[in-house]
Structure 1
Amino acid sequence: MIEFSDVLQAANLLKDRVIRTPLVYSPTFSRLANAEVYLKLESLQMGGSFKVRGATYKLQSNLEKIHSGVIAASVGNHAQGVALAACAAGVPATIIMPVWASISKQEATRAYGAEVRLMGKSLVESIEIGRRMAQETNRIFIHPYDDEEVIAGQGTVGLEILEDLPDADLIIVPVGGGGLIAGIALAAKAIRPEARVVGVQAASCPSARKALELGRPAEVQAEERGSIADAIMVTQVGEAPFPLLQKLVDDIVLVDEDQIASAVLKLLERKRILAEGAAAAPLAALLGGSLQVAEGSRVVLVVSGGNVDSLLLERIIAAGLFREGRLMHFSVSLVDSPGSLACLLGLLADQEANVVHIHHARNESGVAINYTRVDLELETRGFEHIKGIERAMEGAGYRFMRR
């Protein structure tokens, strides 16, 4: 099993090769959680995530074996980390990505100099394809999480946290395959044994929690709808990190999609931090009540990456706004006559609601011949504001339906 000395060795090798990311205090989140909350901003790391740490350490530790190049499999972040590490080492990299991997992450990986091949319907399939290809071509395969050298590299995140905040009480880490939390827990428990390390998973794919319940890694069936936290949608934790999870991780908690979306929005609005869904999961757990935090305790949230697809970000923000009562959707029936829409819009203006989108629906099934249906999206201040708008519309005799 990997030891703390391996993490220290990784830190020495990675010095000046990766960014020492900042640990930032958040007054806003501290007030909301009634604790001292700090953000470890791996979203500012090279390649936009922590993954470059493990990839660089793996490559630099095996320079004599990688002349012909390396192969990796990834949904996105590990791909970019390996591409960057390979470029720095001056060797070619081939990345196997699932066929559904986002175009933006494909292009970012290519921009770092790697060859991208879309093969496999899942990350597990892509990993198996990559392993076979590495064996057939006598190249090293760099696993995204099930590799002790990769885990040691990721553990340097934990070292930096405890160097910057020696009295940290709780470190909350997103969990996919388990490599990041295994490395962080190993470092944190060696330096400050009383510190708690808690993992967070999307409720739609609770593989690490299931593994701890069963006492062994086991594949879970992820929900078909997927998750906005795609980077932690790993259906089975790795064999290498699992013993460290068993021994050192205090708990694994789950968060739902609405909580993750709300956390992404809060990080963006309150701290101007762009975090992908997985990276926002620790904040979702902290503010969503998934875990108990002692008043005044020092809490570190590992913001693991910021590589979010632009189109997905738009949907995540919209979902977060709805959860916070900042957007309101409704349909209303209006008499199809001049001035009826103007009256409705005047009422909404009196309620200080901002119209974001509006759509007129005529000649549709279910709409009476002398009526029109109007679909509206409003920007609102919160749920009390929405209630006030509804009361005003009911008082004016409007027939409407929230959506």
Structure 2
Amino acid sequence: MTSTNSDDLPVTYADIERARDRLDDDTVVKQTPIERSSSLDEFVGGEVYLKMEHLQWTGSFKTRGAYNKIRNEVEAGVDSFVAASAGNHAQGVALAATRCGAESTVFMPENAPQAKVEATRGYGATVELVGRDFQETMAHAQSAVEGTDAGFVHAYDDVDIIAGQGTLGIEMYHDLPNVDTVVVPIGGGGLISGVSTAIKHLSPETRVVGVQATGAETVHESLDKGFPVTLEEVDTIADGIATGGISETTLRMIQQNVDEVVTVTDTEIARAILLLMERAKQVVEGSGAASVAAILSDDLDVSGETVMPLLCGGNLDMTQLRTVLIYALAARKQILRIRVRIDDRPGRLEEISGVIADWDANIHDVRHDRSVDDLDVGEAYLVFDVETSGAEHAADIVDGIAAEGYEVDVVNHRSDA
């Protein structure tokens, strides 16, 4: 990957400037703030400024590209639009179309977060829930446009979309002209294509780093092979970047303007969500937290730098929030699941519960498990879910139970924790 801009790319800085002029309605797109995080400063050994695009009107950057595309098309005579989205693009399209006096139909996966579905309808779109994943939903949406006069608003493979997202890069530069590194999540690549084009034009020495979830990673292989690679399945809590592929357009722009791409696990993303809630008091979805997960990972060194992670979305469904919190707390051992082998006789549960209580831990749940092959006749496992203050406390509890002569195992260990 090179780090200089080029006017022969599909989207240029001039296109982004025109998009910025078009985004003149602050009831559709507003300038979002940056905020320095002293907590993250300490973690990474640099100066961390969070770009809080999750505070955008629709909760994500997607309105920028959608409004640029739709307003341009409406001025050309198009009055209805179709899109496919896992959620954030859906809301951007719905709001943009409504503001431009057009109709919109958005196809969303059957498992799309309910909060995003309801918000999309609230912004004025008709929502169709079809498909098990984004790729299947996309196919339905593209079929629906065939033979109609409706415009199709692609989530990332469109020059107007990319130019609109690039307005965020101009904003980020003016927020912090001396920034050393900006970190941008990658799904289909439209966001990083636009942001990197703007950043590299305004500040060629600034490092642009992309980040993908390991369960939806496609950029490294696409770069190696020289063409976009598409996954048959994706598996990540970061649904906003779970597209399963980039496009030829976005691949070209990543090759030209992005310096480095790293990946982060779901555990790292969950930890970042929890950390942002605890330290920055910000609720950010998985795709938005991926940039913070990246600067906290061993794969990206930003020590001594001024770095700006982009919090690109904040539409975190409350059901998903519960899942993420359990995931993150389990990784920290603040939720501890232990399995204790016992002689299945009265008093064992009380005895082990007493040991846990002696360590001032709260038992959230407990069950007997007798149908395990390695148990002898008359034996059982007691499986405890325990709330602890962290890894050290969890280790003390396990050691305390073992000291009473019991065989005890921690069973919530994560291989990527």
TM-score using structure 2 length: 0.90
Q: Does structure 2 conserve the Cα–Cα contact (< 8 Å) formed by 1:207 and 1:234?
A: no
Q: Does structure 1 conserve the Cα–Cα contact (< 8 Å) formed by 2:74 and 2:102?
A: no
Mapped to 1, the partners of 2:143 and 2:345 lie a distance apart of 69
Among 279, 297, 303, the residue aligned to 2:288: 279
Q: Does structure 2 conserve the Cα–Cα contact (< 8 Å) formed by 1:264 and 1:274?
A: yes
Mapped to 1, the partners of 2:363 and 2:106 lie a distance apart of 45
Instruction: Give secondary structure in 2 for the equivalent of 1:374.
Output: strand
Aligned to 1:37: 48
Of stretches 203-212 and 175-184 in structure 1, the one that deviates more from structure 2 is 203-212
The residue type equivalent to 2:357 in the other structure is A
Aligned to 1:9: 18
Q: Does structure 1 conserve the Cα–Cα contact (< 8 Å) formed by 2:79 and 2:101?
A: no
Of stretches 165-174 and 86-95 in structure 1, the one that deviates more from structure 2 is 86-95
Matched, 1:246 2:290: no
CA drift of 1:228 comes to 0.6
The residue type equivalent to 2:385 in the other structure is E
Of stretches 324-333 and 300-309 in structure 1, the one that deviates more from structure 2 is 324-333
Mapped to 2, the partners of 1:375 and 1:128 lie a distance apart of 45
CA drift of 1:374 comes to 2.9
Mapped to 1, the partners of 2:150 and 2:233 lie a distance apart of 31
Mapped to 2, the partners of 1:396 and 1:129 lie a distance apart of 60
Matched, 1:46 2:46: no
- Superposed CA RMSD: 2.1
The residue type equivalent to 1:303 in the other structure is L
The residue type equivalent to 1:3 in the other structure is T
Among 11, 14, 28, the residue aligned to 2:39: 28
Count of aligned pairs between the two proteins: 400
Q: Does structure 2 conserve the Cα–Cα contact (< 8 Å) formed by 1:176 and 1:232?
A: yes
The residue type equivalent to 1:307 in the other structure is N
Instruction: Give secondary structure in 2 for the equivalent of 1:110.
Output: helix
Matched, 1:95 2:106: yes
CA drift of 1:346 comes to 2.7
Aligned to 2:181: 170
CA drift of 1:161 comes to 1.0
The residue type equivalent to 2:110 in the other structure is V
- 1:213-362, aligned counterparts within 5 Å? 213-223=224-234, 226-293=235-302, 295-334=303-342, 339-360=347-368
Mapped to 1, the partners of 2:45 and 2:74 lie a distance apart of 48
Instruction: Give secondary structure in 2 for the equivalent of 1:46.
Output: coil
The residue type equivalent to 2:289 in the other structure is A
Mapped to 1, the partners of 2:79 and 2:16 lie a distance apart of 27
Of stretches 14-23 and 76-85 in structure 1, the one that deviates more from structure 2 is 14-23
Mapped to 2, the partners of 1:166 and 1:242 lie a distance apart of 26
Mapped to 2, the partners of 1:33 and 1:120 lie a distance apart of 40
TM-score using structure 1 length: 0.93
Of stretches 214-223 and 107-116 in structure 1, the one that deviates more from structure 2 is 214-223
Among 389, 406, 411, the residue aligned to 1:381: 389
CA drift of 1:384 comes to 2.2
The residue type equivalent to 1:358 in the other structure is V
Mapped to 1, the partners of 2:77 and 2:111 lie a distance apart of 29
Q: Does structure 1 conserve the Cα–Cα contact (< 8 Å) formed by 2:78 and 2:149?
A: no
Instruction: Give secondary structure in 2 for the equivalent of 1:292.
Output: coil
The residue type equivalent to 2:14 in the other structure is S
Among 148, 154, 157, the residue aligned to 1:137: 148
Mapped to 2, the partners of 1:240 and 1:132 lie a distance apart of 22
Aligned to 2:208: 197
CA drift of 1:361 comes to 5.2
Mapped to 2, the partners of 1:239 and 1:132 lie a distance apart of 21
Aligned to 2:4: none
Of stretches 305-314 and 47-56 in structure 1, the one that deviates more from structure 2 is 305-314
Q: Does structure 2 conserve the Cα–Cα contact (< 8 Å) formed by 1:66 and 1:91?
A: no
Q: Does structure 1 conserve the Cα–Cα contact (< 8 Å) formed by 2:214 and 2:265?
A: yes
Mapped to 2, the partners of 1:289 and 1:363 lie a distance apart of 41
Mapped to 2, the partners of 1:213 and 1:133 lie a distance apart of 34
Matched, 1:391 2:399: yes
Q: Does structure 1 conserve the Cα–Cα contact (< 8 Å) formed by 2:78 and 2:151?
A: no
Mapped to 1, the partners of 2:134 and 2:348 lie a distance apart of 54
CA drift of 1:258 comes to 1.4
Q: Does structure 2 conserve the Cα–Cα contact (< 8 Å) formed by 1:66 and 1:140?
A: no
Q: Does structure 1 conserve the Cα–Cα contact (< 8 Å) formed by 2:368 and 2:383?
A: yes
Give structure 2 stretches of 5+ with no counterpart.
Answer: 1-9, 412-417
Mapped to 1, the partners of 2:345 and 2:218 lie a distance apart of 57
Of stretches 390-399 and 52-61 in structure 1, the one that deviates more from structure 2 is 390-399
Mapped to 2, the partners of 1:130 and 1:105 lie a distance apart of 18
CA drift of 1:352 comes to 2.4
- 1:145-156, aligned counterparts within 5 Å? 145-156=156-167
- 1:49-64, aligned counterparts within 5 Å? 49-64=60-75
CA drift of 1:154 comes to 0.6
Matched, 1:211 2:211: no
Q: Does structure 2 conserve the Cα–Cα contact (< 8 Å) formed by 1:162 and 1:188?
A: yes
Of stretches 51-60 and 229-238 in structure 1, the one that deviates more from structure 2 is 229-238
